[in-house]
Structure 1
Amino acid sequence: MISRKAFLKAGGLTLFGIGMGGIPAFMAHAAELVQAPKLFKRKKILVSIFQRGAMDGLMAVTPFEDQYLKAARPGLFLSPVKNGNNNPLIDLDGRFGLHPSMRAFESMFREKRLAIVHGMGSPNNTRSHFDAQDYMESGTPFNKGTSSGWLNRAAGLLGHDATPFQAVSLTSSMPRSFYGNTPSVAISNLQDFTIQMRGNPMGAKRVSQSFEELYDQTSSGLLKTTGKESFDAVKMLQKVDTKNYKPANNAVYPNSPLGNSLKQIAQLIKMDVGLEVAFAESGGWDTHFNQGSENGIFARNVNDLSLSIMAFWSDMALYQDDLTVMTMTEFGRTVKQNGTGGTDHGRASCNFILGNDVNGGIVHGNVAPLALENLEDGRDLAVTTDFRSIFSEVAEKHLLIPNKENLLFPGFDGKNIGIMK
């Protein structure tokens, strides 16, 4: 088994596609000198998806009986009642309705494999995308100085030997969630690679240098003891025909950034390279203008989100007992629609957790009637569930990482809310 410490003593690697049509010849040749690794024992896997831009939780999962919401959103409000050719909300429990473009999620909710937490968000009331994302990814909502991300800490607390691909982000750069001392890898494309150092002090100094330059400088110690292990990691991927990958169960991934990322995560899982913590992103959730209701920008986004996740879930049929998928977003949107048919930066939103060990078929959390006196700052759905309560419970119950001594979420003493069995 490859030592994760040996793989990246210098910090996290970012592997990103450069359109070169393959791995450079010198790198492939070096990889051939390394003995192929054995398959690794299967472990639990967490896939986290960050919806960047702040998803409107009140439109994704609507408290459709709330007359205050209906009055506040005359152009955006949807009902579960079919009227003419409209696509009504999907009534989940007599109170909350799922957006019609998320119909792919309905069966998982009915089968009690999908849980929703409403009114979730950060206790920090910033409405800055950058700050709110940073706080959520670091897991320390009142400390901007935290150097590590919560997923990086989670990987470090798994408590067993790891492979170079224990923590992987399918992004072009290392996400804040993966910053820290535990080695992690960011990959934007499994078909062609180069290596760039990011997200760590040593790597930042060498960002502009090519891999050839780094390779030539092995005498400096940067790659002297890690080169073979790095080549070995790349060799794992080189062996597989990722371009012609055929998903199981005829699963069809949307041809979107999220769909492609989840398809590649599925490939890594099936390759048995030791993946345990994965990360992907979904953009376009900052719906200030022309948000739409049953159609439009928001509808397209939630359709892509749900179809991508469900394609991944179907593709992962043989791995579902070991898998949990969880979404997150930095904050929600205002209760009242604005003058341009959109919604502005708000506070609470909702998220989705999919898995066989999830306490599903329930909309968890607390959403009070959206009367003016119940709104945060007189305009927003109040945060009633701290995001750390959700993340820590998933980590504890699925990855078996207890938040002992607040190592995973420093300074947080919140209790579980019952989203996991």
Structure 2
Amino acid sequence: MAVTRRGFMKGGALALVGTSAIPSFLTRSVLAEATTAATNHKKLVVLFQRGAADGLNIVVPYREKNYYAMRPTIAIKPNEVLDLDGQFGLHPSLAAFKPLYDQGHLAIVHACGSPDTTRSHFDAQDYMESGTPGLKSTQDGWLNRALQAERMDPKLATAFRAVALGTQVPRTLQGTLPAIAINNVQDFSVGGRAANPNTGVSSAFQQMYAQTADTMLHGTGQETFEAVKMLKSADPAHYQPANGVVYPNTSFGNSLKQIAQLLKANLGVEAAFADIGDWDTHQAQGSTNGRLANRLKEFSETIAAFWKDMGQGAENITLVSMSEFGRTARQNGTGGTDHGHGNVMFVLGGTVRGGKVYGKWPGLENEQLNEGRDLTVTTDFRQVLGEAAYRTLGSQNLDLVFPNAKLTKNGFLNIV
């Protein structure tokens, strides 16, 4: 299997994939393991619900008469919601969230979203991950910048400071600070499935690493070597979730299970990222049952399992969910909803002031809708992420994290 330097750099030297063999050169070229990690440092976990989740059926404004008029077959009835505060209720498939909300660990921000009004999945996701709505020229992601804005002793940083579950580093974590993508912690390695470590991708990578004069590639290789050694020493193949937790047997369930492994292994993880897709419910969305309900059940039960699995360690975690935009207030002719605007964000954590629905509610009367069709955005998503980065990671320079957003401490919702 031929590997070119151009192809390798395009994929990202830290976009590591599973393989059954660890090339022998890895053990010869590692940096010394970091002996001191910020064991008590706060951790930020960011989840992206790709496809535009329907916030109006996720956290239901069940006192709004027009909600039922606009959604005659897919609305969640008042006697079906899990009441939160007399105005909003959770979709019944989010039952796993209700105890977290009642215990004050889970907060909700409604009518939240981007000031940019695009209805393009690609553009909206790009804007949210870059943190610069409406600006396509941004090269890095907001979470990478948030880590750069943190005041931290460089000696405490490890190769696992920023980690994503998947085959490549997501837009959110791209930037000058090294980030790692892991598809499977049990087979965490470099290259393909070459049985002989002296052939194929492994030898090609070794040769490039040894010969290159490119400092970016050289530095990335060093981080890669260190990461492999550190994770293997944590013995991930024998991980058992705590407290009898059983994660859903899904890609998302496996992602959060592996994030829990990484956080517990004391590898110096500060920021972790995972996706869950399939929220684009144009057809046959369903109400209390169906496509959206199934997704919500997996989403909430996975997060609840993660929270329980982390045990006392959950006190140092802030978890934030986001989706590129909401969906239309009115259902369409195929029992679904189309691309909208305002949406819902969840914030979970040990220091979160939960048990509350935050944000200014704009209403669902026809004259209150954005462009006559969507929930209006009243809280910029960057306010939520900015507060999480500031309070959790200690990212002091919010102008660096979210350029032109003009975020200040005084503008925080005081969720975290």
Contact 1:121 1:331 in 2 (8 A): yes
Q: How far apart are the structure 1 equivalents of 2:160 and 2:252?
A: 20
SS of alignment partner, residue 345 of structure 2: strand
Asked if 1:233 is matched to 2:227, the reply is yes
Q: How far apart are the structure 1 equivalents of 2:31 and 2:414?
A: 44
Counterpart of 2:288?
Answer: 294
- Picking from 59, 68, 71, the partner of 1:73 is 71
- Picking from 53, 76, 79, the partner of 2:51 is 53
Distance verdict in 2 for CA 1:352–1:228, change over 3 Å: closer
Asked if 1:187 is matched to 2:185, the reply is no
Contact 1:194 1:211 in 2 (8 A): no
Q: How far apart are the structure 2 equivalents of 1:298 and 1:142?
A: 29
- Output one character per residue of 1:199-231: Cα deviation in whole Å (capped at 9) or x when no partner: xxxxxxxxxx93421211312234656655532
Counterpart of 1:41?
Answer: 38
Deviation at residue 179 of structure 1 after TM alignment: 1.4
SS of alignment partner, residue 272 of structure 2: strand
Paired residues for 1:135-174 under 5 Å: 135-160=127-152, 161=154, 162-174=157-169
Length, aligned pairs only: 391
Q: Please say which of residues 306-315 and 37-46 is displaced more in the overlay.
A: 37-46
Q: How far apart are the structure 2 equivalents of 1:280 and 1:63?
A: 28
- Output one character per residue of 1:384-419: Cα deviation in whole Å (capped at 9) or x when no partner: 111111111111122221245x11110111453424
Distance verdict in 2 for CA 1:89–1:226, change over 3 Å: closer
- Output one character per residue of 1:259-303: Cα deviation in whole Å (capped at 9) or x when no partner: 111111111111111100100000000000100111111011111
Paired residues for 1:326-345 under 5 Å: 326-345=320-339
Contact 1:72 1:335 in 2 (8 A): yes
Counterpart of 2:126?
Answer: 134
Q: How far apart are the structure 1 equivalents of 2:135 and 2:339?
A: 21
Counterpart of 1:23?
Answer: 22
Asked if 1:275 is matched to 2:256, the reply is no
Q: How far apart are the structure 2 equivalents of 1:414 and 1:37?
A: 34
SS of alignment partner, residue 238 of structure 2: coil
* 1:41 maps to amino acid: A
Q: How far apart are the structure 1 equivalents of 2:255 and 2:133?
A: 27
SS of alignment partner, residue 352 of structure 1: strand
* 2:17 maps to amino acid: G
Counterpart of 1:311?
Answer: 305
- Picking from 187, 206, 216, the partner of 1:215 is 206
Root mean square deviation, CA, Å = 2.1
Q: How far apart are the structure 2 equivalents of 1:159 and 1:10?
A: 30
Distance verdict in 2 for CA 1:62–1:193, change over 3 Å: same
Contact 2:150 2:396 in 1 (8 A): no
- Output one character per residue of 1:371-394: Cα deviation in whole Å (capped at 9) or x when no partner: 110001100000111111111111
Contact 1:22 1:191 in 2 (8 A): no
Deviation at residue 93 of structure 1 after TM alignment: 0.5
* 1:126 maps to amino acid: T
Where in structure 1 are there 5+ consecutive unaligned residues?
A: 1-8, 82-87, 197-208
Deviation at residue 37 of structure 1 after TM alignment: 4.0
- Picking from 312, 316, 323, the partner of 2:317 is 323
- Output one character per residue of 1:22-52: Cα deviation in whole Å (capped at 9) or x when no partner: 423x245426x76554251221100000000
Asked if 1:121 is matched to 2:113, the reply is yes
SS of alignment partner, residue 44 of structure 2: strand
Distance verdict in 2 for CA 1:344–1:10, change over 3 Å: closer
Counterpart of 1:409?
Answer: 402
Contact 2:82 2:95 in 1 (8 A): yes
SS of alignment partner, residue 225 of structure 2: helix
Q: How far apart are the structure 2 equivalents of 1:17 and 1:225?
A: 19
Q: TM-score by structure 1 length?
A: 0.88
Q: Please say which of residues 236-245 and 43-52 is displaced more in the overlay.
A: 236-245
Contact 1:117 1:363 in 2 (8 A): yes
Counterpart of 2:61?
Answer: 63
* 1:52 maps to amino acid: R
Contact 2:13 2:221 in 1 (8 A): no
Q: Give % identity.
A: 46
* 1:166 maps to amino acid: R
> Which structure's residues are more often helix, by fraction?
2
Q: How far apart are the structure 1 equivalents of 2:115 and 2:121?
A: 15
Q: TM-score by structure 2 length?
A: 0.89
> After TM superposition, where is structure 1 displaced by more than 6 Å over at least 4 residues in a row?
none
